[in-house]
Amino acid sequence: MLDLYPDLPRKQRETRILLDHAPAVFIIGIGWPLKDGYPHEMRAADYDDWATETIFKNGEQYHGLNGDILVWNPVTKRRHELTSMGIRVTKQTLKLQLKMSDQEDFLSLPYHRAIINDRIPLSIGGGIGQARTFMYLLRTAHLGEVTVSIWPKVLKDICAKKNIHLLE
């Protein structure tokens, strides 16, 4: 996407790829730096694995065992993230990703120590986000139209002006 749309910001690149090339895309390795030196998007260095080498294609090494499924949202007229998922970091990828993101001090925290010392199981996360899928299928503009929560007054006011009915 960066090659196709080098002058667009990340979210606009995602929207354009959906409009120009495919009704849905799966973006892998979110968090790994792209050719321009910046990641497509920041991802937690202590969660999904975005550093493991994966495929080698067109002379380029790809990275990451995580990804997002995006579709076009006809209501908001932009990209819609259905899911974010991935394989969790191992102790090796945790160390690498924390180093890359200048967060090595996290290695002293209990959660990070548990990964390093093999005290917790590693996992695969994600799946189809139910609320985001409901939004897509029901053609809503806001998560609050399909999910009950406590919404700040300022958000309620903005939504009311746009005829968006939040569930409370």
Per the DSSP assignment, residues forming a β-bridge with 79 are 72
CA distance 37 to 71: 26
Per the DSSP assignment, residues forming a β-bridge with 28 are 67
Query: What's the CA angle centered on 12, arms 7 and 18, to 5 degrees?
Result: 115
Helix, strand, coil distribution of the chain in percent, nearest 5: 30, 25, 45
| 68 neighbors 26 (Cβ within 8 angstroms) | yes
| 11 neighbors 34 (Cβ within 8 angstroms) | no
pLDDT at 108: 97
pLDDT at 84: 85
Per the DSSP assignment, residues forming a β-bridge with 105 are none
pLDDT at 47: 87
Tokens matching residue 88: 């969790």
**Which percentage of the chain shows pLDDT scores above 70?**
98
CA distance 139 to 149: 19
Helices (H) and strands (E) in the chain, counts: 5, 6
Low-confidence ranges of the chain (pLDDT < 50): none
CA distance 80 to 138: 13
pLDDT at 127: 64
